[in-house]
Amino acid sequence: MKKAPDHVIITGGSSGIGLALARLYLDQGAKVSLIARSSQRLEAARQALGGLAAEKLGLYAADVTDFAALSEAIHAAEAASGPCDLLITSAGVVQPARLVDADMADIRRQIDTNLIGTIHAAKILWADMAMRGGTMLFISSGAAFIGLYGYAPYCASKTALVALAESLRMEARDTKLKLALCFPPDTDTPQLAEELKHRAPEAERVMGTVRPWAAEAVARHMDRALQKGRLDIHFGPTLFLLARFGSLVRPLLYWWYGRP
């Protein structure tokens, strides 16, 4: 994708990385449609975006796990702002807990939001974008590359996004659609602040060694990578090495952090 998109649809865009991306693309002159569960949080996002949101921002309340509701929201966004050029699936949740302690509702919510919600959005827009062109950017995580104590369902959902994107790239090979995948590190967002309240010391030994990125820095990095045509977007040398040489690096990391 060499030029700024005309219409960007962002799921989970009411806060965090999604909101930072909305600000970035509005500043570039794009029309931006934000989809999130809470109407109140969407309105707060409008206020946070200020003057940028005057005429080019659309807000649509829908849960990405509800295919019918999400379909209605996406179709309404396209009716108001034109065909989608860039879909960013930023909706995601995390609830750290050991499997023995985890609530099944929390486990299912992570899988349904992070994985099934992405599948829903992609399926809704696939046929049109495959014919007309555009980019879908799935937001995975550095947790896709390594198992983390207390994060089993989350890691599973983010790893599954890698297989999803790689499979869909094969289906999109003879179309005009591009599939991009990014792996943000810990990012300074309200969700991280809540997550840290539940993160186990065993996980903090691994994850706490890297300072969280600012959401705005993550958004800029993603945009620059897309502008350069990159389809796999990494953040920092550690995550890049895990992505490229994980089978060699992971055993060393598990040994190192598992020492008494």
**Six token digits for residue 51:** 């003057």
Helices and strands (H and E) in the chain: how many: 10, 9
Q: Give the H or E element holding residue 35.
A: strand 31-36
Active site residues: 140, 154, 158
Strand, helix or coil at 241?
A: helix
Question: How far is residue 215 CA from its own chain's centroid?
Answer: 12
116 vs 32: CA distance, rounded Å: 23
Closest to 142 measured CA to CA, from 236, 249, 253: 236
Question: How far is residue 119 CA from its own chain's centroid?
Answer: 12
Strand order in the sheet with 177-182: 57-61, 31-36, 7-11, 86-89, 134-139, 177-182, 232-233
Enter the DSSP assignment of 211.
P
Tell me how far apart the 2 most distant CA atoms of the chain are, in Å: 58
**Six token digits for residue 20:** 């930072």
